Amino acid sequence: MAPDLLAWYDRHARDLPWRVQPGGAPADPYRVWLSEVMLQQTTVAAVKAYFLRFTAIWPTVQDLAAAPDAQVMAEWAGLGYYARARNLLACARAVTAMGGFPDSRDGLQALPGIGAYTSAAIAAIAFDRAETVVDGNVERVVARLFAVQTPLPRAKLELVALADTLTPAARPGDYAQAMMDLGATICTPRSPACVICPLQAQCDARAQGIAAELPRKTPKAAKPLRQGTVWLGRQGEALLLEHRPPQGLLGGVLAFPSAGWDGRDLPPPGPADWRDLGTVRHVFTHFTLDLTVRIGTLAGNPTRGELVPLRQIDPAALPGLMRKVWDMARPHLTA
């Protein structure tokens, strides 16, 4: 199977900023690692601009290791899953301290924030190790190739074991990326383009006429709804902001003071003529949030956070939830 897939990849590989050309020299492990961390639970389309900006500001892992935490968190804003940004800094500093990235899967997996999938991807793509790389796209391809009926997520271990039987010793990095590209462009979740698939002759699901039905999935439970409050405290031409706790949801990012939705039962950040503007809704991985937006003029010193001049606030540096709050409040801030 591998020769057919690699021949297809040589002609049709996606042009992505973190990749080298098929059959070329191994990729830079820094760029592979950075892209893989950014791509966790995030689309390629969303990651491209962030990757280009990060590598322009911090061209090497040593540059990133030396960056101020606040600057990295601000550049990450909007990409979500902020624990990844904290782990990114911890990993960059660990790699810099040891003089470079380890070239084995075990060595890579010992680094902060690098799990089984990411370590396999870096080892294969950057160091040409014959490691099996299985993301969501590869799971789908393998489920169809072998007509696996077991639903996800229960089928994950079975799919990894089957994928491992296919990994070649030659060009494992190109092969890993070819499998990802096949899933992203041909073997898609809906209406797979089986007639132009380079592996159609080897696909059991196509032979059985069930390719579009696989992989099966266990129905997801409905997400619980949480509620909370966010306060926009104004004093003159300044607005109250705070850095969230380093751990937990939106950890370490700059945000408007809030409470009630993240395990923190806190009062308003100071006396003010608080009034409700409405509610913003934001969907996290495990729950949906309805956040009541309150605005007011602070009567004295705030009890937490710091007052930042409005002209210095960059909405793009705020996490997605807080940008929704900003968008709702903005007409009232210019009044």
Residues 48-76: tens digit of each pLDDT: 999 999 999 999 999 999 999 989 998 99
Tokens of 119: 């370590």
Boundaries of domain holding 293: 225-333
Establish if 163 belongs to a structural domain.
yes
Asked if 263 and 209 sit in the same domain, the reply is: no
Establish if 144 belongs to a structural domain.
yes
Establish if 219 belongs to a structural domain.
no
Establish if 59 belongs to a structural domain.
yes
The pLDDT tens digits for 179-220 are 999 999 999 999 999 999 999 999 999 999 999 999 999 998
pLDDT average, residue stretch 226-249: 92
Asked if 120 and 251 sit in the same domain, the reply is: no
Asked if 54 and 89 sit in the same domain, the reply is: yes
- CATH number of the domain bearing residue 305: 3.90.79.10
What is the C-alpha separation between 266 and 264, in angstroms, rounded? 6
Asked if 310 and 171 sit in the same domain, the reply is: no
The residue from 213, 243, 260 where one domain ends is: 213
Q: What are the beta bridge partners of residue 280?
A: 291
Cα-flanking dihedrals φ and ψ of residue 236, to 5°?
60, -125
Asked if 131 and 178 sit in the same domain, the reply is: yes
Asked if 287 and 185 sit in the same domain, the reply is: no
SS3 190: coil
User: Mean pLDDT over all residues of the chain?
Assistant: 94
Q: What's the angle, vertex CA 219, arms to CA 37 and CA 158, rounded to 5?
A: 60
The verdict on whether 36 is a catalytic residue reads: yes
Counted domains in the chain: 2
The pLDDT tens digits for 8-32 are 999 999 999 999 989 887 799 999 9
Asked if 275 and 308 sit in the same domain, the reply is: yes
The residue from 193, 213, 233 where one domain ends is: 213
The residue from 181, 213, 245 where one domain ends is: 213
SS3 272: strand
Return the H-helix or E-strand segment holding 296: strand 288-297
Establish if 36 belongs to a structural domain.
yes
What is the C-alpha separation between 70 and 55, in angstroms, rounded? 17
Asked if 101 and 198 sit in the same domain, the reply is: yes
Residue from 36, 75, 131, 139 carrying the catalytic annotation:
36
Q: What's the angle, vertex CA 235, arms to CA 234 and CA 240, rounded to 5?
A: 50
SS3 114: coil
Return the H-helix or E-strand segment holding 125: helix 116-127
Establish if 190 belongs to a structural domain.
yes
Establish if 84 belongs to a structural domain.
yes
Asked if 54 and 143 sit in the same domain, the reply is: yes
Asked if 195 and 327 sit in the same domain, the reply is: no
Residue 335 is predicted with a pLDDT of 54
Asked if 164 and 46 sit in the same domain, the reply is: yes
